[in-house]
Amino acid sequence: MSTATDQPMSTKSTKSKQAPQAIRASDALSPQQKLDMLGRMMLIRRFEERCAQSYTQTKIGGFCHIYIGQEATAVGSIYALNQDDPIVTAYRDHGHALARGMDPNACMAEMYGKITGCAKGKGGSMHMFDKPNAMFGGHAIVGGQCPLGAGLGFAIQYNREDKVALCYLGDGALNQGAFHESMNIAAIWNLPVIYVLENNGYSMGTAIHRGTAGSDNMKAKADAYGMRYDECNGMDVMDTYDCFSRQVELTRGSTSKAQGFDQDKGGPCFINVVTDRYMGHSMSDPQKYRDKKVYDQMKKDGSIDPILRLVEDLIDTKQATQEQIDDLDNQAKQQAMEAVKFADESPDTPLEELFTDVYVNPFDPQHKKGEPNPDFA
Ligand SMILES: Cc1ncc(C[n+]2csc(CCOP(=O)(O)OP(=O)(O)O)c2C)c(N)n1
Ligand SMILES: [Mg+2]
């Protein structure tokens, strides 16, 4: 049986020891910006705790995949983007939506299946969409978002925009054809897209080494397509931010107005973010495949926790006081509580909505021959 101790964090990474970088992007962040990143991670943590609670109370139906443990991946990577850089991800998507700036009320209401949700309650937990914040979902089919990531990159290149697309995927998507087809087309067309592997070591209950050939060498996946590769510790938000800061700017090189739209520059990249999910695959997973005792202790003593790590760093370096940290956490708790209240009090999505915002077949046989389908007008 695989346990957390079978697979310590360090063995999941293929990173060779590198000399410390002289200048890291995170060195230029102000204490205020670091607190802002901490606040975003705390919001995700407290929000997800409330989701788990509401799910157990059967207020949320369907599937629900909790992001706790992986907060630094969404926050560290998205912090390195511009607000209009598009992102797309899989079904474990509440964290990305919140990190991107989605209103927590709309996010929670979506899970409750309420009309006030970001997709009018018709998508649920796995389908968080927020076009104004350039969040293109939330996709339930493993690897299904990979071609969409290439599409987002292609749109940027075609429209000669100064943007970069991020496409997140779990380690379970590594063996899907859609992932490899997307990496291939991104490479041959030099698309401004970064494929972000959220390597939490498990797809459902299957440890990565049991399901993925060459799981100890993620660089080989990028090499197969002649693509740039990087990796970072996804339990350390600053390391994640540094990694994305350098790669996002390189990828932006092919589309940047400042750098002269040179399609031979920049191009795609594959980033292996080594992370950990604390809870089961979904709310219905008791995690019998992990040694819970060891794992609980690791979480408690803060040896792996991304939030505790940043808190400790801010306090040790006197960039923040305990009082500021407590205030941030209280705000996060408050926002999560308000989101639950908002979702509780919002009306259900009415039945008529079943037929809105869906694809329409203009040749629907239910319509008389020769007459246009009125829904298609
Ligand atoms: C094509 C496809 N096959 C199987 C499933 C069932 N399934 C849902 S989640 C999942 C595991 C994916 O794990 P991973 O990509 O590592 O993401 P994580 O849950 O760790 O975030 C599987 C096999 C699916 N949704 N789509
Ligand atoms: Mg996984």
Kindly report the average pLDDT of the chain as a whole number.
89
- Of 98, 100, 124, 50, the residue nearest 338 (C-alpha): 50
Distance between CA atoms of residues 368 and 373, nearest Å: 9
pLDDT score recorded for residue 176? 98
Q: What is the mean pLDDT of residues 96-112?
A: 98
Q: Which ligand is nearest to the CA of 202?
A: 2
Q: Please count the other Cβ atoms lying within 10 Å of the Cβ belonging to residue 179.
A: 24
Strands 193-199 and 202-203: unpaired
- Ligand 1 within 6 A of 96 CB? no
- Ligand 1 within 6 A of 66 CB? no
Is the pLDDT assigned to residue 259 strictly greater than 80?
A: no
- The protein residue whose alpha carbon is closest to atom 25 in ligand 1 is 141
pLDDT score recorded for residue 371? 62
- Ligand 1 within 6 A of 141 CB? yes
Q: Please count the other Cβ atoms lying within 10 Å of the Cβ belonging to residue 124.
A: 21
Q: What is the pLDDT of residues 296-336, one digit of tens each?
A: 777 777 778 999 999 999 999 999 999 999 999 999 999 99
- The residue whose two tokens read 């992370």 is 275
Residues of 83-92 as b/e, b for ≥16 C-beta within 10 angstroms?
A: eebbbbbbbb
- Ligand 1 within 6 A of 95 CB? no
Q: Which ligand is nearest to the CA of 90?
A: 1
Is the pLDDT assigned to residue 364 strictly greater than 70?
A: no
370 — pLDDT class (breaks 50, 70, 90): low
Distance between CA atoms of residues 73 and 7, nearest Å: 19
Q: What is the mean pLDDT of residues 9-13?
A: 34
- Of 269, 273, 225, 264, the residue nearest 246 (C-alpha): 269
Query: Ligand 1 center to residue 95 CA distance, Å?
Result: 17
Contact 13, 273 (CB under 8 A): no
Of the residues 203, 206, 289, which should be mutated to test ligand 1's pocket, given the most ligand atoms within 8 Å of the CB? 203
- Ligand 1 within 6 A of 69 CB? no
pLDDT score recorded for residue 87? 98
> Could you tell me the domains of the chain?
29-348 (3.40.50.970)
238 — pLDDT class (breaks 50, 70, 90): very high
φ/ψ of 102, rounded to 5, equals: -65, 145
> What distances in angstroms separate CA 299 from CA 235, 278, 302, 306, 308, one per listed residue?
11, 8, 5, 10, 9
Contact 277, 72 (CB under 8 A): no
pTM of the model: 0.90
Q: What is the pLDDT of residues 206-227, one digit of tens each?
A: 999 999 999 999 999 999 999 9
pLDDT score recorded for residue 67? 98
- Ligand 1 within 6 A of 149 CB? no
Cα 291 to chain centroid, rounded: 26
Query: Ligand 2 center to residue 202 CA distance, Å?
Result: 4
- The protein residue whose alpha carbon is closest to atom 3 in ligand 1 is 142
pLDDT score recorded for residue 110? 98
Contact 283, 66 (CB under 8 A): yes
- Of 281, 264, 274, the residue nearest 15 (C-alpha): 274
Q: What is the pLDDT of residues 290-303, one digit of tens each?
A: 887 877 777 777 77
Q: What is the mean pLDDT of residues 51-64?
A: 96
Distance between CA atoms of residues 377 and 358, nearest Å: 14
357-341-34 Cα angle (round to 5) = 90
Is the pLDDT assigned to residue 187 strictly greater than 80?
A: yes
Query: Ligand 1 center to residue 142 CA distance, Å?
Result: 5
pLDDT score recorded for residue 136? 98
Q: Please count the other Cβ atoms lying within 10 Å of the Cβ belonging to residue 43.
A: 25
pLDDT score recorded for residue 355? 79
Distance between CA atoms of residues 176 and 172, nearest Å: 8
User: Mapped to the 3 state alphabet, what secondary structure does 144-197 carry?
Assistant: CHHHHHHHHHHHHHHCCCCCCEEEEEEHHHHHCHHHHHHHHHHHHCCCCEEEEE
Nearest atom (ligand 1) to Cα of 91: 21
Q: Which helix (H) or strand (E) is 269 found in, with range? A: strand 269-274
Which has more pLDDT, 192 or 4?
Answer: 192
Distance between CA atoms of residues 249 and 192, nearest Å: 10
Distance between CA atoms of residues 80 and 252, nearest Å: 12
pLDDT score recorded for residue 186? 97
Query: Ligand 1 center to residue 190 CA distance, Å?
Result: 28
Torsion of CA 128, 133, 135, 136, to 10 degrees: 100
372 — pLDDT class (breaks 50, 70, 90): low
Q: What is the pLDDT of residues 114-167, one digit of tens each?
A: 999 999 999 999 999 999 999 999 999 999 999 999 999 999 999 999 999 999
Which has more pLDDT, 281 or 19?
Answer: 281
Query: Ligand 1 center to residue 210 CA distance, Å?
Result: 15
Q: Which amino acid is at 203?
A: S
Contact 171, 202 (CB under 8 A): yes
pLDDT score recorded for residue 100? 97
The size of the chain, in residues, is 377
